[in-house]
Chain A
Amino acid sequence: MSELVIDRTGQKEQLQSIFGAFEKVTVRETSKAAELEKKVNDFLDGILYRKEYMRETINDLEDIMPKLEAFTWSLSNPTEEFLADMRKIVGLMHSLHSLLVKNYVLVSRYFATHKIGKAELTEFKSTIDDFKELAADLHDVVFVLPQDEDFQNANKRLESLC
């Protein structure tokens, strides 16, 4: 018998194997469809949740920063109590910044793995950088510049203009 002639027994075995494979895939796809959909939805919910969390934090910090800047406009003859409060605020800002950086690292690792959310991450990072900058500025304005001889000499020159 030529090798090209199909052996009926072999043919049947092959067909049964294919039917078996079809059945296996069909059963899996049917039984796992709901589970797969849930996993995809959970993944998308995770992305949305993280994006929303970053947006809320950005908005909150953008709201707080002008209020913190406003404190610098009431610094002539500050009371001891006010200075203590400012020291506490600057300390809290540094602690919060550390926490935000930690969360940024976690989120950026997650987003980078899936190559998503680059714009949101960039804005989040810029905002927490601004927050850190403001903490440093507040510290300087309240505690460092008033003791800085060169800066105070320049201020005296400025006062003499009037």
Chain B
Amino acid sequence: MLDLYCLDDFKVEIEKLSKYKSYASLEAEVLKHFHGKTIAEARNGTLLNASETMPYVKKRIKGSGGYRVYFLAIIKENCLYLMYVHPKTGPEGSENITREARTEFLNKVIDAITMDEGLYKVAPDAKKQKLVFTKKKKGEPELKITV
């Protein structure tokens, strides 16, 4: 199974969106698509950077009018980094993100991996409905979270 991390941008968006009733399913949907999956299972979507070993992917979740998740997978390390999420519809809905934002998120995740800071381990809560974010400390090996 893959190790799931995220950037602060992803965590902030989840915390913001989870306050809306219309996005009540978001966290469960993220878990459904990424938790307990292999990278091969999780990585489908639109490949933005033509790299099969370190794919930067935009993934549609919950079908039409659902959510868009941007992530980077590092196949060799078996790690998947959630970078950003946005809904397509509702009060915080947006059609797409800009090309500049796509580049910015890629640079941010590279910085976070290189400097080993600004990353959160992502895991499910006891009911497997909500996301639990645990800050990865600098130099710390993979976090072991027991739920």
Contacts and interface: CB of A to CB of B under 8 A. Distances in A.
B88 A126 contact: yes
Contacts, number: 93
Contacts of B58: 137
B70 to A, nearest CB: 12
A138 B103 CA distance: 16
Range of interface residues on B (Cβ < 8 Å) = 20 to 34
A157 B65 CA distance: 33
A154 B107 contact: yes
A158 B63 contact: no
Interface in B30-54: 44-54
Interface in A103-162: 122-123, 126-127, 129-130, 133-134, 136-138, 140-141, 144-146, 148, 150-151, 154-155, 157-159, 161-162
A148 B49 CA distance: 11
A138 B96 CA distance: 13
Contacts of B52: 73, 76
B65 A69 contact: no
A134 B68 CA distance: 12
A148 B48 CA distance: 12
A140 B51 CA distance: 15
B135 to A, nearest CB: 21
A20 to B, nearest CB: 59
Given A73-B52, A126-B88, A126-B89, A150 B103 contact: yes
A10 interface: no
Contacts of B72: 158
B71 to A, nearest CB: 13
A145 B48 contact: yes
Contacts of A150: 100, 103
B99 A155 contact: no
A69 B61 CA distance: 13
Contacts of A69: 44-47
A127 B66 CA distance: 10
A133 B96 contact: yes
Closest 5 interchain pairs by CB?
A126-B65, A126-B64, A72-B47, A127-B64, A154-B106
Interface of B: 44-56, 58, 60, 63-65, 72, 74, 76, 88-89, 95-96, 99-100, 102-103, 106-107, 110, 113-114
Given A73-B55, A75-B50, A130-B65, 9 more contacts: A62-B64, A75-B47, A141-B46, A141-B47, A146-B50, A150-B103, A154-B110, A162-B54, A162-B76
